[in-house]
A = this chain, B = another copy of it.
Amino acid sequence: MRVGFVGLGIMGRPMALNLLKAGHEVTVWARRQASMAPLIDAGAQGADSPAAVASVAEVVFSMVADAPDVRAVLLGSQGVVQSKRPGLVAVDMSTIPPAAAKSIGADLAAQGVTFLDAPVSGGEVGAIAGTLSIMVGGDQAAFDKVQPLFACMGKNVVYIGETGAGQVAKAANQILTGVGVLAVAEAMAFAKKNGTDPAKVREALLGGFAGSKILENHGQRMIDRNFKPGFKSWMHEKDMNIVMQTAHDLGLYLPASAATAQMYKAMVGSGLGEEDSIAVLKLLEQLSGQAG
């Protein structure tokens, strides 16, 4: 299929490469020329603007930083919508607030472009391996059309519901992973401060109701004190901010998410923003007068 890809950062680059590898004709655009080079070397076409990408594609993917960027590349003066291409489907895979996805979807629909929100989880490793989880909101027929392309980038691709539902699922994912990482860090810090071996505690707990992917993977990395990202703290801070902003707008009371959002904020503030979110363990230790 003739597809476009806009935004070629840590996530977008390997995702676009996986579309290329699967034999699709890929046209790309990125804000920085340098980001486009590896894709062009691999056989992609480069374009001058998101609008130029869309003019030669049936489906355009975007993977950028936040809602204003998504709005700019899709609806701006050089945006995808300017291509006026009939039947165009715009698929945004960035993580943005559900309300922003709904608003962008409505504005695109008004100009004849079908929109899917399709945020991912699984990180850089999943993007490279093509094993991302992809959570999709929007028109079901458009989802069916794009499904073979999603299958090049992800393994667990789930249609959630109407526009914005993909972002709702992603926000719920960030609640569970954000709170989950903090809970595992608290359990590990608790064991250590009690003079008990955290590795033994992890082993004992994995088999029961406390068992989780986070205890298994992130728990082991905490024991190994391997704080290399992975998923940077400042990115989880940004995602928890989406959760709390949405909760505020809906009048929703989320105490564990609120405590977690504040912890990631404190990680950024105390210089741990570039480390993996599991470095929240270090902050707990610092705030408990415990050497690392």
Contacts and interface: CB of A to CB of B under 8 A. Distances in A.
Interface of A: 98, 121-122, 133, 135, 155-156, 158, 160-161, 164-165, 168-169, 171-173, 175-177, 179-180, 182-184, 186-191, 193-194, 196-197, 200-201, 203-205, 207-215, 217, 243, 246-247, 250-260, 262-263, 284, 287-290
Copy count, this protein chain: 2
A204 B156 contact: yes
A20 B263 CA distance: 50
A209 B121 contact: yes
13 contacts: A122-B208, A135-B204, A171-B190, A172-B201, A172-B205, A173-B208, A176-B210, A209-B213, A210-B214, A211-B212, A250-B288, A253-B288, A255-B262
Nearest to A287: B253
B207 A133 contact: yes
Contacts of A164: 194, 196
Contact of A197 (B161, B175, B179, B287): B161
A255 B158 CA distance: 33
Contact of A215 (B176, B197, B210, B243): B176
Nearest to A243: B190
Contacts of A133: 204-205, 207-208
